[in-house]
């Protein structure tokens, strides 16, 4: 089963990091990515763009486009990792090893296949 590991943090805090602080986190993330890749547990992973440049689509069909993410949270979704795990317990164990869990909030959700996709 696949799980999405969604990384949340206060975006202003992340943007305030020095290039060296950011590079240190990325180094740690890449080490975990390499380990999960070797174990066959890693799917797509990405660092997301700024929330100020995001838009939200609400409603059916054309819907309403709203500037910004406007989630009801003080933290913003800043990135994700897709992992493969036997069950939620294994997904939690893998997610706990990802440095993002140490600096912010990580949400783990099962990913279900959409028939025909």
**What pLDDT, in 10s, does the model give residues 63-102?**
666 665 555 567 788 888 899 999 988 998 888 888 777 7
Which helix (H) or strand (E) segment holds residue 56: the answer is strand 55-58
Q: Per the structure, how many domains does the chain have?
A: 1
Tally of CB atoms within 10 A around 22 = 13
| Domain encompassing residue 39 | 2-111
Residue 87 falls inside a structural domain: yes
> Which residue has tokens 């409603």?
59
Which helix (H) or strand (E) segment holds residue 99: the answer is none
Residue 75, domain CATH: 3.30.70.1060
Residue 116 falls inside a structural domain: no
Residue 117 falls inside a structural domain: no
Which helix (H) or strand (E) segment holds residue 55: the answer is strand 55-58
Mean pLDDT of all residues in the chain? 82
Residue 40 falls inside a structural domain: yes
pTM: 0.73
Pairing state between β 76-84 and 42-47: antiparallel
């Amino acid at each position: 089963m696949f799980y999405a590991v969604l990384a949340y943090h206060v975006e202003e805090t992340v943007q305030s990091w020095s290039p060296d602080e950011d590079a240190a986190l990325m180094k740690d993330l890449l080490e975990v990515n390499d380990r999960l890749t070797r174990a066959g547990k890693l799917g797509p992973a990405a660092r997301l763009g700024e929330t100020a440049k995001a838009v939200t689509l609400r409603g059916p069909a054309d819907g309403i486009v709203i500037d910004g993410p406007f989630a009801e949270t003080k933290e913003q979704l800043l990135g994700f990792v897709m992992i493969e795990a036997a069950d939620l317990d294994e997904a939690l164990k893998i997610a706990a090893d990802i440095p993002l869990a140490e600096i912010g909030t990580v949400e783990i959700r099962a990913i279900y296949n959409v028939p025909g996709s």
